[in-house]
């Protein structure tokens, strides 16, 4: 695994809030990263915290997130709780002098997002937002090619994100809609690749896969969506997302430039190919979901955050990055609802 190690002379002690699916993903990454160790975990269903503590040999567990935030041994807190709790927990961390790594989003609305960012700035603690695709070696190589002008000036960006199967309706309802919940990573990636802030967006959505969500509010009723984002100098970003892909987890990117093009394809568990009279191609399907597809990226992301703490350098994914991603998702919602281009200044 190619990750740059932090200075292991200084061990960063961390607490993790939330032992659901994403919390366990981050906990696994923390245990693989050098120079960092988890000392306490929490979950409202305390049995989940206890199970994680036993699995990863963590000395303490609790049902109370504030015990993690106020623990004097903790240097930084990973916030992996449900989205509606993020902003208050970030502000509590800031008040207690704890650095923060928070899964997206910072909050579910803009005022709370700004409050949380300001709280960290005023307290002098670092706030990093979990946007793991930026740390994936494939997407990172595309971004490097754009930055280093290997394909000339960018003209067009294409991003595709399709899940292998739709989540249950109970997950979709109250989840913020397809733009904030799913496409937000692609919206952020388009900005990451463009290297500038966007101007406006046109978005549409529809329901093709799961008719049980068709009567939900706003973009929660969409399982398929497309966005066209306009950047300075006429750069266009085209994004398509869908909650079902019959052939596996579909994650691709392409940048067309004035002097060439760079693409990244799906990632497979192996490079084996089958050659037959009626078929030639990969022997197996692409990785089946983000847990396996971005396993290494989560570790690289963890190392990057810890490196910024040890060396007192800026975090690579800031609160402002999280804020812009949320603004883009909200603008996409508005565009789909009103069937028009929406400028980001409107939000």
pTM: 0.91
- pLDDT of 9 reads 56
Q: Do 91 and 307 meet the contact criterion of CB atoms below 8 Å apart?
A: no
Architecture of the domain defined by 12-131+301-315: 3-Layer(aba) Sandwich (3.40)
* Res. 228 pLDDT band, cuts 50 70 90: very high
* Res. 268 pLDDT band, cuts 50 70 90: confident
Residues facing residue 76 across a β-bridge: 14, 99
* Res. 267 pLDDT band, cuts 50 70 90: confident
- Calpha distance 139→186 (Å, rounded): 11
- pLDDT of 174 reads 84
pLDDT, one tens digit per residue, over 148-186 is: 999 999 999 999 999 999 989 998 998 889 999 999 999
Residues facing residue 62 across a β-bridge: 42
Is the confidence at residue 296, as pLDDT, over 60? Answer: yes
Q: Domain residues of the chain, as ranges?
A: 12-131+301-315, 137-293+325-346
- Calpha distance 277→112 (Å, rounded): 59
Q: Are strands 250-257 and 154-162 parallel, antiparallel or unpaired?
A: antiparallel
Across 15-39, average pLDDT: 96
Beta strands in 117-230 (DSSP E): 127-130, 154-162, 200-206, 224-230
Report the percentage of the chain scoring pLDDT > 70: 97
The encoded tokens of residue 279 equal: 């078929």
* Res. 67 pLDDT band, cuts 50 70 90: very high
Q: Do 287 and 247 meet the contact criterion of CB atoms below 8 Å apart?
A: no
- Calpha distance 299→292 (Å, rounded): 12
Length of the chain, please?
347
- Calpha distance 131→121 (Å, rounded): 20
Is the confidence at residue 3, as pLDDT, over 70? Answer: no
Q: Is CATH 3.40.50.2300 the classification given to domain 137-293+325-346?
A: no
Is the confidence at residue 76, as pLDDT, over 70? Answer: yes
- pLDDT of 332 reads 98
Three-class DSSP category at 187 = helix
Residue 156, exposed/middle/buried by CB under 10 A (0-12, 13-18, 19+)? middle
- Calpha distance 253→151 (Å, rounded): 14
- pLDDT of 286 reads 83
pLDDT, one tens digit per residue, over 96-121 is: 999 999 999 999 899 999 999 999 99
Least confident segment among 289-293, 309-313, 326-330: 289-293
Is the confidence at residue 342, as pLDDT, over 60? Answer: yes
- Calpha distance 303→116 (Å, rounded): 23
- pLDDT of 321 reads 98
- pLDDT of 287 reads 80
């Amino acid at each position: 695994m190619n990750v740059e190690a932090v200075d292991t002379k200084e061990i960063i002690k961390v607490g993790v809030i939330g032992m659901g699916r994403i919390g366990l993903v981050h906990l696994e990454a923390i245990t693989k990263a050098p120079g960092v160790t988890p000392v306490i975990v929490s979950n409202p269903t305390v049995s989940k915290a206890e199970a994680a503590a036993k699995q990863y040999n963590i000395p303490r567990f609790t049902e109370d997130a504030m015990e993690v935030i106020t623990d004097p041994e903790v240097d930084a807190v990973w916030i992996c709780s449900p989205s509606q709790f993020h902003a208050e927990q970030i502000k509590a961390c800031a008040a207690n002098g704890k650095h923060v790594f928070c899964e997206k989003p910072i909050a579910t609305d803009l005022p709370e997002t700004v409050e949380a960012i300001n709280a960290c700035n005023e307290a002098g603690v670092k706030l990093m937002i979990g946007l793991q695709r930026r740390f994936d070696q494939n997407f990172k190589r595309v971004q490097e090619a754009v930055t280093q002008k290997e394909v000339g000036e960018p003209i067009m960006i294409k991003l595709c994100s399709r899940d292998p199967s739709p989540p249950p309706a109970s997950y979709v309802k109250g989840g913020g809609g397809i733009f904030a919940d799913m496409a937000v990573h692609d919206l952020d990636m388009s900005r990451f690749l463009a290297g500038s802030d966007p101007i406006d967006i046109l978005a549409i959505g529809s329901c093709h896969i799961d008719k049980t969500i068709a009567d939900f509010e706003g973009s929660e009723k969409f399982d398929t969506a497309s966005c066209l984002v306009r950047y300075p100098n006429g750069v266009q970003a085209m994004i398509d997302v869908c909650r079902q892909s019959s052939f596996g987890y579909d994650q691709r990117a392409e940048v067309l430039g004035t002097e060439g093009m760079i693409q990244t394809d799906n990632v497979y568990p192996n490079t084996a190919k089958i050659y037959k009279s009626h078929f030639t191609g990969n022997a197996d399907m692409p990785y089946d979901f983000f847990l396996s597809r971005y396993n290494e990226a989560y570790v690289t992301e963890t190392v990057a955050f810890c490196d910024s703490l040890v060396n007192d350098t800026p975090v690579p994914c800031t609160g402002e990055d999280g804020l812009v991603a949320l603004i883009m998702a909200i603008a996409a919602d508005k565009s789909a609802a009103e069937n028009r281009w929406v400028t980001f200044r409107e939000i």
